[in-house]
Structure 1
């Protein structure tokens, strides 16, 4: 139950249903999920570990509001891991791996055509998870998953701006081509291009 509650709250934060600094009332959450407050408290502690919520004196848990510096540090760590992962994926990728990545890109095209940001976001996570799986380093995977959980609301916000879904798809296509052609330099450049574009968007919303 705690893991389920944590995931539901995380999704609401990612989709902007719950906003930065919004108070998370344990009793209300317990009533909604028809449980006691103990599983809710455990779920909130899980979210605190993922840096999606924080405990404030005399208020309890609130949705975390990131500072600009925190975002840059978070993205620096995330994208450095992705650079390592894509280099390992380029070495390890089989034809089946290539075909799975290609199918995710085709599904992303459909999500863009349908203007379905929720579907595109999930496919975005699938794309990165597939590259991590090909890289085949569990320590990198675990660290990356933790960072991606923390950045979910930022990623969702990012993708909803302007042409960012299309730009993200184009960046993923470059990463895919780099893996397919075993071009390490192109893969790293594509990762850095995505990082730069993402931070430019987020800097508009998080100026401090």
Structure 2
């Protein structure tokens, strides 16, 4: 297991934060086994510190702890992913409202620069680069909101969405819709219009929810067809 962390964790708190970040970035994948010895070496801490951090991540619902089997990154189902987006819509609408009130001029300028980079990525058809900008824009809005409780809850929810983080932006027709929605959010925050910032963020995440629902439905239908084809092939083999 290669390490991308340069500074050693010194406490269970910092180990917890680093492990949660690795899961959020997708460096630790859903269903991946979390071996204490490997993680202790990677974070440069004791196995006891890792164990404590894993227990906290288990309480967050990010990690599954099984007696005598250890820990693994929790696999979020597709229906749960839709529910997570619904919950995020409420929390991030709050942060957008608060950002319209509390953001500094420098923070608003930073949001506009991020939005401009997202527009360039979309012009270049760099959808993964656009998605990274999307994450940076949301993070900037959350930071500008000064709402620590909402930020903490959103971080926990986003950490469970690694498996789905690029799915919606790859849907045909969705990227320009996404850019328009983000533009409306930034404009509302820049205008200090708290009501508009809240409503445009809700509208944006409602669009994410609907797109995700369509993709999960299509995936379910595809799996059903594959299972039917497999059953038919097995039946034909048995009767041949």
Please give the range of the TM-score, normalised by the shorter of the 2 chains.
Answer: 0.7 to 0.9
Determine if the alignment matches structure 1 residue 27 to structure 2 residue 64: no
Task: Please say if residues 23 and 63 of structure 1, whose CA atoms lie closer than 8 Å, have aligned partners that are also in contact.
Answer: yes
Task: Please say if residues 82 and 209 of structure 2, whose CA atoms lie closer than 8 Å, have aligned partners that are also in contact.
Answer: no
> 1:134-145 to 2 correspondence within 5 Å?
134-145=144-155
What CA distance in whole angstroms lies between the structure 2 residues aligned with 1:29 and 1:35? 8
Determine if the alignment matches structure 1 residue 115 to structure 2 residue 126: yes
- Two-structure CA RMSD over aligned residues (Å): 3.5
Look up the match of 1:188. Answer: 202
Determine if the alignment matches structure 1 residue 47 to structure 2 residue 57: yes
Shift, 1:116, TM fit: 7.2
Unaligned runs of 5+ in 1: none
Unaligned runs of 5+ in 2: 1-8, 224-240
Shift, 1:127, TM fit: 1.4
Shift, 1:54, TM fit: 0.8
Seen in structure 2, the aligned counterparts of structure 1 residues 126 and 32 have a Cα distance that, compared at 3 Å, is closer
- TM-score normalised to the size of structure 2? 0.66
Larger mean Cα displacement after TM superposition, 35-44 or 92-101: 92-101
What CA distance in whole angstroms lies between the structure 2 residues aligned with 1:69 and 1:165? 23
Q: Secondary structure at the match of 1:65?
A: coil
Match of 1:70 among 60, 68, 80: 80
Which of structures 1 and 2 has the larger relative contact order (alpha carbons within 8 angstroms, sep 6+)? 1
- TM-score normalised to the size of structure 1? 0.74
Shift, 1:177, TM fit: 2.9
Determine if the alignment matches structure 1 residue 86 to structure 2 residue 96: yes
Number of aligned residue pairs: give it. 206
Task: Please say if residues 24 and 62 of structure 1, whose CA atoms lie closer than 8 Å, have aligned partners that are also in contact.
Answer: yes
Q: Secondary structure at the match of 1:20?
A: coil
C-alpha distance after superposition, 1:75-131 (max 9, x if no partner): 2211111122223334455644432211111222344538373x5555333312322
Task: Please say if residues 54 and 71 of structure 2, whose CA atoms lie closer than 8 Å, have aligned partners that are also in contact.
Answer: yes
C-alpha distance after superposition, 1:146-174 (max 9, x if no partner): 322333x1453436734566654443223
Look up the match of 1:171. Answer: 181
Look up the match of 2:160. Answer: 150
Seen in structure 2, the aligned counterparts of structure 1 residues 205 and 53 have a Cα distance that, compared at 3 Å, is farther
